[in-house]
């Protein structure tokens, strides 16, 4: 099995494209910490575009535009992302559930439970989040992200399980999927499938047919082996359609087939043909 230091992001992207055929670019994600320099040719939303954005917007720019985007505290507009990515403290107004209450849940008490499920970086874990098309990444990713339809994500799930078996377990509250994508994948070291949240659909413009899949870079060698292995085993995308069956037609069609068969029998027997 190849080691991650020998992996070429471009080759990984090509393997994903060959086996999964995603509509948008697979994305490389890395959180830069401890003074780690920005990769070359990276765009900063506030500095280079004059706007603050959400993490899901930056990811969409990477997977749809092919841009490399770097997002620090000053680049972010979403208050949930500021907390989840360790740039801002989880103040009581947030932890009490006020953001979720009345929109996602009935009361602040339920909202508090919802916010407790959002994965978070501690302040010392915070760093600049870089997202770039995997094929063009000039840095070693921590996470690989792929958006696709449910069949394409299923293809990635089966590949991720090729070496280990079992099942992947994912959890969602229908919000803050940016934290699931980046924080949860980094913290657990496990692949997962992700239901895009409401904000990702509104601000990141993720489409109704799309889901997401993430895998730590350290697990990518298993994924590549799994893509090849499951392909040999017959699990492929596009999903092949079973076509070796005999169709059953409407009664009028079936009656015509009977008339045609009777005409053939009469012709072979030398009897005059009778229509009707």
Mean pLDDT of 237-265: 94
Where along the chain do its domains lie? 4-233, 246-276
Angle, in degrees to the nearest 10, between helices 150-160 and 9-20: 120
pTM of the shown model: 0.91
pLDDT at res. 6: 81
Strand partners, 212: 147, 194
Q: Which two tokens stand for residue 14?
A: 């090509």
User: How do residues 50-77 score in pLDDT, each as one tens digit?
Assistant: 999 999 999 999 999 999 999 999 999 9
Mean pLDDT of 209-215: 98
**What Å distances lie between residue 271 and 4, 263, 265, CA to CA?**
77, 9, 9
Q: What ranges in the chain are assigned the alpha helix state H?
A: 9-20, 55-60, 79-84, 92-95, 108-116, 150-160, 177-179, 185-188, 198-202, 220-233, 251-269
Q: Which of 192, 122, 187, 128 is nearest to 156 (CA)?
A: 192
Q: Check if the beta carbon of residue 12 is closer than 8 Å to that of residue 118.
A: no
pLDDT at res. 2: 46
User: How do residues 113-145 score in pLDDT, each as one tens digit?
Assistant: 999 999 999 999 999 999 999 999 999 999 999
159-195 core/surface letters (b: 16 or more CB in 10 A; e: else): bbbbeeeeebebeebebbbbbbbbbbbbeeeebbbbb
Please name the residue that has the structure tokens 């932890």.
95
């Amino acid at each position: 099995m190849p080691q991650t230091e020998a992996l070429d992001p471009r080759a990984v992207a090509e393997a994903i494209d060959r086996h999964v055929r995603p509509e948008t670019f697979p994305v490389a994600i890395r959180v830069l910490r401890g003074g780690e320099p920005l990769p070359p040719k990276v765009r900063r939303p506030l500095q280079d575009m004059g706007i603050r954005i959400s993490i899901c917007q930056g990811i969409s720019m990477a997977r749809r535009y092919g841009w490399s985007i770097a997002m620090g505290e000053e680049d972010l507009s979403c208050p949930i992302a500021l907390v989840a990515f360790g740039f801002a403290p989880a103040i009581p107004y947030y932890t009490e559930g006020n953001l979720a209450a009345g929109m996602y849940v009935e009361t602040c008490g339920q909202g508090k439970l919802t916010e407790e499920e959002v994965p978070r970086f501690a302040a010392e874990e915070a760093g600049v989040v870089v997202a770039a098309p995997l094929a063009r990444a000039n840095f070693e990713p921590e996470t690989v992200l792929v958006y696709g339809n449910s069949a394409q994500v299923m293809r990635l799930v089966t590949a991720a399980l090729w070496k280990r078996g079992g099942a992947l377990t994912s959890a969602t509250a229908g919000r803050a999927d940016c934290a699931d994508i980046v924080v949860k994948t980094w913290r657990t070291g496990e692949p997962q499938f992700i239901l895009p949240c409401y904000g990702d659909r509104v601000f990141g413009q993720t489409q109704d047919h799309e889901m997401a899949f993430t895998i730590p870079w350290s697990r990518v060698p298993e994924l590549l082996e799994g893509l090849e292995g499951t392909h040999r085993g017959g699990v492929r995308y596009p999903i092949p359609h079973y076509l070796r069956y005999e169709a059953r037609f409407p009664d009028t069609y079936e009656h015509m087939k009977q008339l045609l068969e009777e005409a053939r029998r009469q012709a072979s027997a030398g009897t005059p043909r009778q229509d009707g």
